[in-house]
């Protein structure tokens, strides 16, 4: 996602309200990407760990 949304590499603002808005927008962009592309980075990143923990 960092290559697609390069602005995510910038640090979060100090202001709690602005930080909350920024985090909300990040989660919305991630959810939109999963819905449109159908690829969840959470699933692909942690799928190996989930299989190991189920044993």
The domains of the chain are located at 6-53
Average pLDDT of the chain is 72
**Are the CB atoms for 2 and 9 separated by under 8 Å?**
yes
55: three-class secondary structure by DSSP: coil
Q: Per the structure block, which two tokens stand in for 37?
A: 């592309």
Instruction: Give the 3-state secondary structure of residue 53.
Output: helix
End-to-end CA distance of the chain: 30
pLDDT for the residue 37: 75
What is the pLDDT confidence band of residue 4, given thresholds at 50, 70 and 90? low
Residues near 36 by beta carbon (within 8 Å), at least 6 away in sequence:
none
Whole-number pLDDT of residue 34: 76
């Amino acid at each position: 996602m960092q290559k697609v949304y390069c602005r995510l590499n910038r640090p979060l603002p100090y202001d709690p309200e602005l930080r909350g808005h920024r985090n909300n927008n990040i989660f919305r962009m991630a959810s939109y990407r999963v819905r449109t592309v159908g690829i969840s980075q959470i699933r692909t990143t942690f799928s190996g760990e989930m299989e190991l923990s189920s044993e």
